[in-house]
Structures are given as structure tokens and as C-alpha cells.
């Protein structure tokens, strides 16, 4: 049996630790042997969790690459704007990399990363976890098996729930593209554009157009006499749909890894401290209508493919239920469903006497997981991919992930230019 993949965690935050947990669940696949993390508290906690020796814990990638290569690969779960600058030195030092999405924040960076991976002969796999969700994987297999014929149209929608939208994209880390480097489409929907490109296979996207804006979370929509911080000075604290008290105190576990991360790191996440933070310095305590957010809350993207097929993606923030929906129409049938329900319907044209179409429900048995159960399957596939096994049908190699990111960059450019049609050149 192959040796476990010796892996270094780079950025020991929420996402990296999900993938790294493969080393605990399947130690025969992965072993965590090093760490790069500037936050001392996290560094200590993660070193002790995975038994990493002190001499293999570093504050920066620059420090790591000063020592001779001691692992096969790295999991890079740093924040969006430093993905490329932290990955290129790892590639140069000989490590293969599992890199979080978005793998780059603009086209120039994306091409720079691609060229570096080629130059240093390293593998880079992107954390497009949805490709591994059984829901999308089985849809891909049905398409590959020719069950719905050639695709004529593909429709994707992502409904971002009111609590997810306000936590991540109005108050949280991805609220302002000038600060985090990523637009809403890039941060949230590079997954969806990737899924679209993956399901369309060799049919290349040729042109793109997009519209969208921030319609809801603007000053003009603040209720009369509302305050600046829900729990400090707002008379709507018990009635507003977006009240920090209702979202974070009444639901203390939901999004806790974002909202209470600082307090939890220090072991200080008491109710008293949470309320104090929301009243004083926590970004999650600010009124959703009076913040410095600049990203869109809804956006529509229209894609034209080389074959003449068309695709749409709609992102709508502030929905009551967060979910992803898909509807694909081919020359022989259709596939449609909701990822979070864990099942999709396969319809096939059936013109035999007495029939119109056949219908089958395909149950993937993974329900209620926003990534459809894809996180650990991706980590395991990365270990296999780097170890030389044949890549799975889902494999999110950098080469195969470029189309989706380029589509996102052009869609945003189109949106900023009133929906102008943009030509896509891979």
C-alpha cells in the first residue's frame, strides 16, 4: 500500500483543518508533518492536535522554504488575496499544493500561477469541493453516459441564505472586494461557474454577459431611527431580520467559526464576551444597512458556448433557505434537482404510444450538507492524485479549473460595464 501523503498545513484556519482532518480519519492516506501559521495561538493548538514537532512549525512560507523539503505536499487554506503569493514559493520548493478557491483574484494572477506550476512541474489541485459532492458527481456521470444527449442549456442558481449572506458578505470577511480581493461572484460562485464548465465538458465558453448590484444592504434601506450596532443603539434589535442578537446570540453555533473565531481562539467565548464584542468592536455587530460592504447581493451570468449551447447562473443573496439548484436540458432528456436535498430527477423523452417521458429520482443519500459531502472526498482524491493514482472524474487540477475562474473574471468585468458582452479566450 502507498505511504500516507506527508502534508504541511499552510494557514491553519477553518478550511485547512477540514481537509487536514483526513489525517485523523484515514491516517493511511495523509499525515500532517508541518505547519505554517502566523497566529501563535492557532499554531500551538494545531501542532499539538497533529503532533507536529516544533522545528516543523513556521510563521511564514518564507521561513518554511529555508529548510530542506520534508513533505510531499501542502494544503494552502490562507485567505483569497494571498493564495498565489504563498503558493508559488511552495511550488518552487518542490511541494504539490491543494489550494483553496478562489485560486487567484484576477486573470493575471491566475495565469502566473498556471505558468509557475508548469515551470516547476508540480501538481496544483483546487478545492472545488462541489465536484466531489455525490449530487454533482452522479449528474456528471449521467451526462458522460449520454443519458440526456447533448446539452442544449444549463441553468444553475445559488440561493445564499439571509444569515449566510449577512455573516459572510455584508458583515464578514468577504464584504468588501477592495479589502478581501474577491468579488461576490468570485468568493461565492466560482464553485458554480466551475461546475458549469465541468459539466459542459469540452464545449468551450466563448462569450459572457452579466448584471447585478447590491440592492438590499444599502444605507437607503435602513429603518428610520435605526442604530449603528444592533445590540448597542438600535430600537429594532428584537425585530430586524438581520439583528446581530437574533442571528448570533439566539443562534450561537451557526457560523460560530467566523463570528466567534477570535474569542474561541483565546478560549473566551462566553455569552458576556460575545455580547460585549457585538456592542463594541466585532464586525458582526454592525448594522447590515450601514456598513462598508461593496459586493453585490445578486448577480446573473449568461454564457454562450462554442456549440451554441447556453448557460445561466443566478446568485441571489438574502434567501430564506440557502441552496443550489440545477436544471440541464439535453437533446434526449433533462436533469434537475437541489444539491441540499441530495437527490435529482432524470427525465427522458419517451415518445412510445401512451408515454411522454420517463422519470427517475436519483438519491445520492447526502442531504443537508452545503458542500454535499464533498470536503473529505476531495482531500482523499488529492492524496491519491499526488501519489500518482489516476485522477478521478472530479479531479480539480489547476489546468481544468482555469475556465471557470476566467469566466468569473469576465462576468464581473461585464457587470461593471453594464452587461457588455465579453469574449473569453482560454
In 271-386, DSSP assigns E strands to 298-305, 310-319, 323-330, 333-338, 343-349, 357-363
Q: Is 105 in the site for ligand NAD (CB under 6 A)?
A: no
| Strands across the sheet containing 323-330 | 357-363, 343-349, 333-338, 323-330, 151-161, 310-319, 298-305, 205-213, 422-423
Which lies closer to ligand NAD via its Cβ, residue 37 or residue 138? 37
List beta partners, residue 335.
328, 346
Q: What is the separation of C-alpha 192 from the centre of its chain, rounded to a whole number of angstroms?
A: 9
CA atoms within 13 Å, Cβ hemisphere of 263:
20
Q: Alpha-carbon distance 255 to 274, whole Å?
A: 13
Q: Is 146 in the site for ligand NAD (CB under 6 A)?
A: no
31-39, 49-57, 156-164, 387-395 -> range binding ligand NAD (CB under 6 A): 31-39
Please count the residues of this chain forming the interface with ligand NAD, following the rule CB under 6 A.
25
Identify the residue among 7, 31, 78, 243 touching ligand NAD (CB under 6 A).
78
In the DSSP assignment, the letter for residue 170 is I
Q: Alpha-carbon distance 410 to 425, whole Å?
A: 10
Shortest Å, Cβ 83 to ligand NAD? 6
Q: Is 119 in the site for ligand NAD (CB under 6 A)?
A: no
Q: Is 37 in the site for ligand NAD (CB under 6 A)?
A: yes
Window 367-396: contact mask with ligand NAD (x via CB under 6 A): ----x-------------------------
Window 10-29: contact mask with ligand NAD (x via CB under 6 A): xxxxxx--------------
Q: Alpha-carbon distance 243 to 240, whole Å?
A: 5
Binders in 173-192 for ligand NAD, by CB under 6 A: 187
Q: Is 31 in the site for ligand NAD (CB under 6 A)?
A: no
First to last CA, the chain: 39
Identify the residue among 29, 42, 169, 298 touching ligand NAD (CB under 6 A).
42
- Can you give the C-alpha Rg of the chain in angstroms? 22
Which lies closer to ligand NAD via its Cβ, residue 259 or residue 422? 259
Give Cα separations from 28 to 4, 5, 176, 384 (angstroms): 5, 8, 41, 11
CA atoms within 13 Å, Cβ hemisphere of 172:
22
Binders in 284-313 for ligand NAD, by CB under 6 A: none
Q: Is 158 in the site for ligand NAD (CB under 6 A)?
A: no
Q: Is 405 in the site for ligand NAD (CB under 6 A)?
A: no
Which lies closer to ligand NAD via its Cβ, residue 218 or residue 261? 261
Residues 6+ apart with CB under 8 A from 266: 41
Shortest Å, Cβ 324 to ligand NAD? 12
The binding site for ligand NAD (CB under 6 A) comprises: 10-15, 36-39, 42, 60-61, 77-80, 82, 86, 100-101, 127, 129, 187, 371
Amino acid at each position: 500500500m502507498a505511504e500516507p501523503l506527508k502534508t504541511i498545513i499552510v494557514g491553519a484556519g477553518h478550511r485547512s483543518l477540514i481537509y487536514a482532518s483526513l489525517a485523523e480519519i484515514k491516517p493511511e492516506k495523509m499525515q500532517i508533518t508541518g505547519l505554517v501559521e502566523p497566529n501563535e495561538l492557532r499554531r500551538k493548538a494545531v501542532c499539538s492536535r497533529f503532533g507536529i514537532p516544533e522545528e516543523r512549525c513556521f510563521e511564514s512560507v518564507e521561513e518554511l522554504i529555508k529548510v530542506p523539503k520534508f513533505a510531499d505536499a501542502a494544503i494552502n487554506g490562507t485567505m483569497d488575496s494571498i493564495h498565489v503569493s504563498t503558493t508559488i514559493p511552495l511550488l518552487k520548493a518542490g511541494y504539490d499544493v491543494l489550494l483553496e478557491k478562489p485560486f487567484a483574484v484576477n486573470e493575471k494572477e491566475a495565469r502566473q500561477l498556471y505558468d509557475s506550476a508548469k515551470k516547476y512541474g508540480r501538481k496544483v489541485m483546487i478545492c472545488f469541493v462541489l465536484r466531489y459532492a455525490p449530487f454533482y458527481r452522479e449528474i456528471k456521470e449521467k451526462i458522460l453516459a449520454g443519458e440526456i444527449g447533448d446539452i442544449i442549456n444549463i441553468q444553475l442558481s445559488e440561493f445564499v441564505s439571509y444569515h449566510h449572506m449577512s455573516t459572510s458578505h455584508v458583515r464578514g470577511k468577504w464584504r468588501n472586494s477592495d479589502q478581501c480581493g474577491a468579488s461576490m461572484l468570485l468568493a461565492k460562485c466560482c464553485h458554480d461557474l466551475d461546475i458549469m464548465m465541468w459539466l459542459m465538458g469540452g464545449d468551450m465558453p466563448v462569450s459572457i454577459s452579466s448584471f447585478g448590484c447590491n440592492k438590499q444592504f444599502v444605507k437607503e434601506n435602513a429603518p428610520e431611527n435605526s442604530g449603528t450596532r444592533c445590540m448597542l443603539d438600535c430600537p429594532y434589535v428584537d425585530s430586524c431580520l438581520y439583528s446581530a442578537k437574533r442571528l448570533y446570540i439566539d443562534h450561537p453555533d451557526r457560523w460560530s467559526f467566523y463570528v466567534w473565531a477570535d474569542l474561541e481562539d483565546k478560549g473566551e467565548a462566553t455569552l458576556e464576551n460575545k455580547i460585549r464584542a457585538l456592542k463594541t468592536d466585532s464586525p458582526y455587530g454592525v448594522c447590515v444597512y450601514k456598513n462598508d460592504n461593496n459586493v453585490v447581493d445578486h448577480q446573473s451570468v449568461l454564457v454562450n458556448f462554442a456549440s451554441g449551447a447556453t448557460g445561466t447562473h443566478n446568485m441571489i443573496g438574502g434567501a430564506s433557505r440557502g441552496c443550489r439548484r440545477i436544471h440541464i436540458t439535453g437533446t434526449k432528456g433533462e436533469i434537475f434537482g437541489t444539491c441540499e436535498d441530495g437527490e435529482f430527477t432524470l427525465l427522458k423523452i419517451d415518445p412510445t404510444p401512451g408515454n411522454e417521458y420517463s422519470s427517475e429520482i436519483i438519491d445520492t443519500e447526502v442531504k443537508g450538507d452545503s458542500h454535499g459531502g464533498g470536503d473529505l472526498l476531495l482531500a482523499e482524491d488529492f492524496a491519491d492524485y499526488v501519489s500518482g493514482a489516476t485522477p478521478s472524474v472530479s479531479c480539480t487540477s489547476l489546468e481544468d479549473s482555469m475556465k471557470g475562474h476566467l469566466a468569473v473574471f469576465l462576468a464581473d468585468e461585464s457587470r461593471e460595464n453594464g452587461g457588455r458582452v465579453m469574449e473569453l479566450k482560454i
